[in-house]
Chains A and B, each alone.
Chain A
Amino acid sequence: MSVETVGAQAAPTFRKWIDSDKALAAICVIVPLIGLFLFFIYPMIIVFIRSITTADGTYGLANYAEILASKGFWRATQHSLVMGGTTTILSVFLGFIIALGLHRCAFPGKTLIRVAIVLPLIAPSLVQALGLIFILGRNGLISQFSGVEMEIYGFWGLVIANTLYGLPQAVMIISAALVLLDARIYEAADVLGSSPLRQFRDLTLPAVTFALLSASFVVFTITITDFGNAAVIGGDYSVLATEIYSQVIGQRNFNMGAVVGIMLLIPTILSYYIERQAMKRQKTQKATNIHSYVPRFQAIRDVPMGILNFLIAALILSVIGIVIYASFVKLWPYNFDFTLKHYNITLAGGYSSLWMTIWISIGAAVAGTLAVFTLAIGLRHTPEMIAQPVRILAAMPAAVPGMVLGLAYILTFNSTATPLYLLYGTATLIAVINFYHYHTQAYLTVMTGFRQFPSELAEAGSALGAGIGRISTTIIAPFVAPMLVSVFFFLFMRSMVTLSAVVFLTTPQLTVAAVTIMRLDDAGLTSQAAAFSTAVMAVVGLALLGMKGAVSLLAKRNSRKSGS
């Protein structure tokens, strides 16, 4: 803003816009880029240096040679790829069904689906793992009722757990494409008498290809880097994330873990590259004017889609619900008498961490949403030569396992050599790591929205003399507002419960809810950990309701303003 006013005083009217626009576009790219450099590239350079630091302190590729020569690494790589691929296909397929159900079909009870789909994002990882074991475990409900012991631990357990984790993120990205499709094209198709199947194939599918590929990329990446699910339900199915854990935590050898961490970037960069190549061949259809699509009931489409949607929602609800239920019984699975005793939590700091976590999460969500929005705006006005590497960079952070990122932050910021040391041990740094840990998902969701943006609108705006600043706030922002809102909520929810990276950044004075849950579970108090998780989910649920209310109030006031 200040740049614009400075420009206004210094230059004649015509040049004013040109100059300030260029400057503003540059700022939009540069500020988020500085963030990516400081909080992602710089720590990752340190990780890379550690990966080439050999046991005797010299630099070389000996660590890489050692890892590449071990058969455990290749087994884990193969496992990771097979498991990641299976999970991706499942998550994106189911996520597409949910997104279509929510935005393209007409059936009652969508609120329930929306609630269910958000649950895996606000459930601490312990909850999902416990829920699956309570239901599908060897002594779980299904085994007990059927009398046949299920063997959940291993490949399928891991695939199911990761699919649950990936599903909401796939839905978020795919929805970003569906919600903005112009209704009038479909109305025209209806008039021309084309079948729903044909409309799906010729209109919907081409429009969501980018979103499907982005969702696949995200799910694949977060699956191969996730350690939590692998540890609790993966059994002996070793994956790359367990290899890293074994090196870094088990053998206190960060350098070797760093090698695997760096190599995890390879499949990610590769799959991102494949996705971009596929997109080049894809012509995108862009709406010139947006009328939101209101589906009318069609039995042939909506009955089966409704049933599928509710089945998926029921699975999610039962996994989370059973843990909530277990937190109210005396001794799962032996004594089902009701009790509130598990909510009387005094160890591991009690409930105090909960409130701090809320502030950290709001900070991460506000700053993060702003950062990806400005980055996306800036990229529209950046020459392709610069924009291309920036896009890859912005999509990369998900490829770094939380454990590696967390320890990299210690190595980077716990050094008095730079003023960044001021951040070490602060809540700010925890908010920062939460944002960059989930940068990929936030960025890709906003980009999916931007792809649908009819640039004619912006051109018209600029022909009428509006600068980037005005166009962004008055034309683009309202258009992508649904994406910004979902990115905000996504960052908020994940920041509330993510553990893998922040566990290394907490201090005696500063801890977060996820760490409290881990400490309770470490102390053998699994029921208390479940109770605390339930409390976290309740608080997040209330916060979401409050914020959603505020957003819709704001939207109403805005529409009234523009209407008058």
Chain B
Amino acid sequence: MNYWTKSAMALAMAVGVASPLAAGEITVYSALEEEEIAAYVAAAEAAMPDVEINVLRLSTGKLGARILAEADNPQHDLIWGWAVTAMMDPQVLDLLEPYKAAGSEALANQFRDANDRWFAATGYLGAFCVNTARLEKKGLPMPTSWADLQNPAFKGEVLMPDPNSSGTGYLHVNAVLQTKGENAGWELLKSVDPNMAQYTSSGSKPCKAARAGEYTVGISLAFTAMKSIEDGYPLAMVFPKGGVGYELEASGLMASSDNKADAQRFLDWTLSAEALELYGQYKALITVPGVETSAAAAEAGLPSDIRRILFPVDFVKSANRQSKVKAEWKDRFGR
């Protein structure tokens, strides 16, 4: 008797937690940064007081594994701010439902899917994290481009993420290949390879290792660099001349969502005037025309006219050829 009541109770509790979410609640999977998520969600919930927004935050790679593992029975209503190169994986596109979010028509074609399955209001930049204390100690010149890293004096002093494990790694490799062209690009990567101390599996690790003074240059993310400079680390953020790698943060509606109305309202909100104003505080790259970038970004050395240092990345091309590029990279530089 006792046993049965107990198990019935346990069952009921399990059902309570696992049952599909009721209307008025949406579950969002996101790879945006913790800090901005907290700010955006607070604002969005104030704008839509009848909707509770539950966010699961994971890094780009782990989120991808999770989304695909759950693909047969997705638990989330939408994907918010996830690397577009990952979003364009056909396995993921199949899960999305076309939705033309209010305001998405203002975005340039390269920032939204032709079939409206995703759009990207923001993005993030790749950058070099240079430890100025270590640079000085080693008597090295400040690198300003990929070509500068060919200098044998940098031997064992440079870290970058492995494109086969990290989206940030692919972002940089893709930037080099697209700006220099295939042949010259591979040659450049090859000439930098002997100086690479490690190819890491995490995208932010090169910057964290550089700021701790373990290495001089970490090829990594602008976000981590800016955060570290703000914290007081002896770090300089360098955008390599000739083309900075960047990635778009795409959002889309899950076809499986059982609360599409609220999910769509939230997607609309991410393009609202209020959201755009918040992006100005956090984002280095905003694709919506006419929005200023953040003060922190300017302080960390981000050019005010960000588009000047960006080359037009062809994301469709970038996504389509990624397996080929990754395989070739592994063949050439895999350790």
A252 and B65 form a contact (CB under 8 A):
yes
In the bound assembly, the distance between CA atoms of A251 and B60 in angstroms comes to 11
B70 and A246 form a contact (CB under 8 A):
no
Q: How many residues of B contact A (CB 8 A)?
A: 67
A507 and B59 form a contact (CB under 8 A):
no
**Interface hit among B141-149, B223-231, B272-280:** B223-231
Please list 19 pairs of residues, one from A and one from B, whose beta carbons are closer than 8 Å in the complex, sorted by A's number.
A139-B214, A231-B202, A236-B199, A249-B61, A250-B61, A250-B201, A252-B65, A252-B86, A414-B73, A414-B75, A421-B18, A422-B15, A422-B18, A423-B14, A506-B56, A507-B56, A507-B75, A523-B227, A524-B208
Instruction: Answer whether residue A314 sits at the interface, using C-beta atoms and an 8 A cutoff.
Output: no
| Interface hits, A240-276 → B, CB 8 Å | 242, 245-246, 248-252, 254
Using Cβ atoms and an 8 Å threshold, which residues of chain A touch B164?
Answer: 246, 250-251
Q: CB < 8 Å: which of A138, A231, A346, A421 contacts B201?
A: A231
Within the complex, the shortest CB–CB distance from A73 to chain B, in Å, comes to 11
Instruction: Answer whether residue A519 sits at the interface, using C-beta atoms and an 8 A cutoff.
Output: yes
- Over the window 1-16 of chain B, the binary record of Cβ atoms lying under 8 Å from chain A Cβ atoms (1 yes, 0 no) is 0000000001101110
Using Cβ atoms and an 8 Å threshold, which residues of chain B touch A252?
Answer: 64-65, 68, 86, 89, 91
| Interface hits, B21-47 → A, CB 8 Å | 27-28, 33-35, 38
Max count, chain B CB within 10 A of own CB: residue among A72, A139, A232: A139
A347 and B212 form a contact (CB under 8 A):
no
Using Cβ atoms and an 8 Å threshold, which residues of chain B touch A449?
Answer: none
Using Cβ atoms and an 8 Å threshold, which residues of chain B touch A347?
Answer: 34-35, 38
Closest to B61 in A: A249
- Over the window 128-142 of chain A, the binary record of Cβ atoms lying under 8 Å from chain B Cβ atoms (1 yes, 0 no) is 000001000111000
Closest to B234 in A: A334
Extra contacts, 13 of them, besides A138-B215, A334-B233, A520-B34 (Cβ < 8 A), are A133-B212, A138-B214, A139-B213, A252-B86, A407-B69, A410-B70, A422-B14, A425-B17, A504-B66, A508-B27, A510-B17, A519-B57, A524-B231
Instruction: Answer whether residue B334 sits at the interface, using C-beta atoms and an 8 A cutoff.
Output: yes
Within the complex, the shortest CB–CB distance from B62 to chain A, in Å, comes to 6
A333 and B213 form a contact (CB under 8 A):
yes
A509 and B54 form a contact (CB under 8 A):
yes
Instruction: Answer whether residue B324 sits at the interface, using C-beta atoms and an 8 A cutoff.
Output: no
A504 and B214 form a contact (CB under 8 A):
no
Q: CB < 8 Å: which of B54, B64, B165, B232 contacts A508?
A: B54
A137 and B214 form a contact (CB under 8 A):
yes
A interface residue count range (under 10 / 10 to 19 / 20 to 34 / 35 or more): 35 or more
Q: CB < 8 Å: which of B28, B72, B227 contacts A524?
A: B227
| Interface hits, B179-225 → A, CB 8 Å | 197-202, 204-205, 207-208, 212-215, 223-224
A245 and B201 form a contact (CB under 8 A):
yes
Using Cβ atoms and an 8 Å threshold, which residues of chain A touch B201?
Answer: 231, 242, 245-246, 249-250
A503 and B86 form a contact (CB under 8 A):
no
Instruction: Answer whether residue B326 sits at the interface, using C-beta atoms and an 8 A cutoff.
Output: yes
In the bound assembly, the distance between CA atoms of A237 and B135 in angstroms comes to 26
Using Cβ atoms and an 8 Å threshold, which residues of chain A touch B293?
Answer: none
Closest to B231 in A: A331
Q: B residues near A, CB below 8 A?
A: 10-11, 13-15, 17-18, 27-28, 33-35, 38, 54-59, 61-62, 64-66, 68-70, 72-73, 75, 86, 89, 91, 133-134, 162-166, 197-202, 204-205, 207-208, 212-215, 223-224, 227-228, 231-234, 323, 326, 330, 334-335
Using Cβ atoms and an 8 Å threshold, which residues of chain B touch A332?
Answer: 212
In the bound assembly, the distance between CA atoms of A526 and B209 in angstroms comes to 11
Q: A residues near B, CB below 8 A?
A: 72, 133, 137-139, 153, 231-232, 235-236, 238, 242, 245-246, 248-252, 254, 330-335, 346-348, 403, 407, 410-411, 414-416, 421-428, 503-504, 506-510, 519-520, 522-524, 526
Q: A138-B214, A138-B215 are in contact. Are A248 and B65 (CB under 8 A)?
A: yes
In the bound assembly, the distance between CA atoms of A316 and B308 in angstroms comes to 51
A235 and B234 form a contact (CB under 8 A):
no
Using Cβ atoms and an 8 Å threshold, which residues of chain A touch B204?
Answer: 522, 524
B232 and A335 form a contact (CB under 8 A):
yes
In the bound assembly, the distance between CA atoms of A236 and B165 in angstroms comes to 13
Q: CB < 8 Å: which of A250, A504, A510 contacts B162?
A: A250
A523 and B62 form a contact (CB under 8 A):
no
In the bound assembly, the distance between CA atoms of A139 and B54 in angstroms comes to 41
B75 and A519 form a contact (CB under 8 A):
no
Q: Which 3 A-B pairs have the closest CB atoms?
A: A508-B54, A139-B213, A250-B165
In the bound assembly, the distance between CA atoms of A331 and B70 in angstroms comes to 40
Q: A407-B65, A407-B69 are in contact. Are A133 and B214 (CB under 8 A)?
A: yes
B65 and A504 form a contact (CB under 8 A):
yes
In the bound assembly, the distance between CA atoms of A254 and B62 in angstroms comes to 12
In the bound assembly, the distance between CA atoms of A500 and B49 in angstroms comes to 36
Max count, chain A CB within 10 A of own CB: residue among B34, B35, B166, B207: B34
In the bound assembly, the distance between CA atoms of A231 and B202 in angstroms comes to 8
A254 and B208 form a contact (CB under 8 A):
no
Using Cβ atoms and an 8 Å threshold, which residues of chain B touch A137?
Answer: 212, 214
Within the complex, the shortest CB–CB distance from A513 to chain B, in Å, comes to 16
Closest to A509 in B: B54
Using Cβ atoms and an 8 Å threshold, which residues of chain B touch A235?
Answer: 197-198
A331 and B233 form a contact (CB under 8 A):
yes
In the bound assembly, the distance between CA atoms of A136 and B230 in angstroms comes to 27
Q: CB < 8 Å: which of B14, B54, B73, B89 contacts A415?
A: B73
Using Cβ atoms and an 8 Å threshold, which residues of chain B touch A242?
Answer: 165, 201
Closest to A403 in B: B65
Using Cβ atoms and an 8 Å threshold, which residues of chain B touch A231?
Answer: 200-202, 205
Using Cβ atoms and an 8 Å threshold, which residues of chain B touch A249?
Answer: 61-62, 64-65, 165, 201
Within the complex, the shortest CB–CB distance from B75 to chain A, in Å, comes to 7
Within the complex, the shortest CB–CB distance from A9 to chain B, in Å, comes to 18
Using Cβ atoms and an 8 Å threshold, which residues of chain B touch A251?
Answer: 164, 323, 326
A524 and B14 form a contact (CB under 8 A):
no
Using Cβ atoms and an 8 Å threshold, which residues of chain B touch A335?
Answer: 232
Closest to A50 in B: B69
Using Cβ atoms and an 8 Å threshold, which residues of chain A touch B212?
Answer: 133, 137, 139, 332-333
Within the complex, the shortest CB–CB distance from B50 to chain A, in Å, comes to 18
Using Cβ atoms and an 8 Å threshold, which residues of chain B touch A507?
Answer: 27, 54, 56, 75
Using Cβ atoms and an 8 Å threshold, which residues of chain A touch B58?
Answer: 503
Using Cβ atoms and an 8 Å threshold, which residues of chain A touch B197?
Answer: 153, 235
Using Cβ atoms and an 8 Å threshold, which residues of chain B touch A427?
Answer: 17
Q: A347-B38, A425-B17, A522-B204 are in contact. Are A334 and B232 (CB under 8 A)?
A: yes
Using Cβ atoms and an 8 Å threshold, which residues of chain B touch A245?
Answer: 165, 201
Using Cβ atoms and an 8 Å threshold, which residues of chain A touch B17?
Answer: 425-427, 509-510
Within the complex, the shortest CB–CB distance from A81 to chain B, in Å, comes to 18
In the bound assembly, the distance between CA atoms of A407 and B64 in angstroms comes to 11
Q: CB < 8 Å: which of B18, B54, B208 contacts A426?
A: B18
B334 and A72 form a contact (CB under 8 A):
yes
A425 and B75 form a contact (CB under 8 A):
yes
In the bound assembly, the distance between CA atoms of A411 and B73 in angstroms comes to 9
In the bound assembly, the distance between CA atoms of A524 and B210 in angstroms comes to 13
In the bound assembly, the distance between CA atoms of A155 and B1 in angstroms comes to 58
In the bound assembly, the distance between CA atoms of A421 and B198 in angstroms comes to 42
Using Cβ atoms and an 8 Å threshold, which residues of chain B touch A526?
Answer: 208
Q: A246-B162, A254-B69 are in contact. Are A422 and B75 (CB under 8 A)?
A: no
A236 and B61 form a contact (CB under 8 A):
no
Using Cβ atoms and an 8 Å threshold, which residues of chain A touch B18?
Answer: 421-426
In the bound assembly, the distance between CA atoms of A138 and B165 in angstroms comes to 24
In the bound assembly, the distance between CA atoms of A331 and B33 in angstroms comes to 22
B208 and A414 form a contact (CB under 8 A):
no
A410 and B69 form a contact (CB under 8 A):
yes
In the bound assembly, the distance between CA atoms of A330 and B162 in angstroms comes to 31
A428 and B10 form a contact (CB under 8 A):
yes
A254 and B68 form a contact (CB under 8 A):
yes
In the bound assembly, the distance between CA atoms of A196 and B224 in angstroms comes to 58
In the bound assembly, the distance between CA atoms of A196 and B129 in angstroms comes to 59
Within the complex, the shortest CB–CB distance from A441 to chain B, in Å, comes to 26
Within the complex, the shortest CB–CB distance from A364 to chain B, in Å, comes to 15
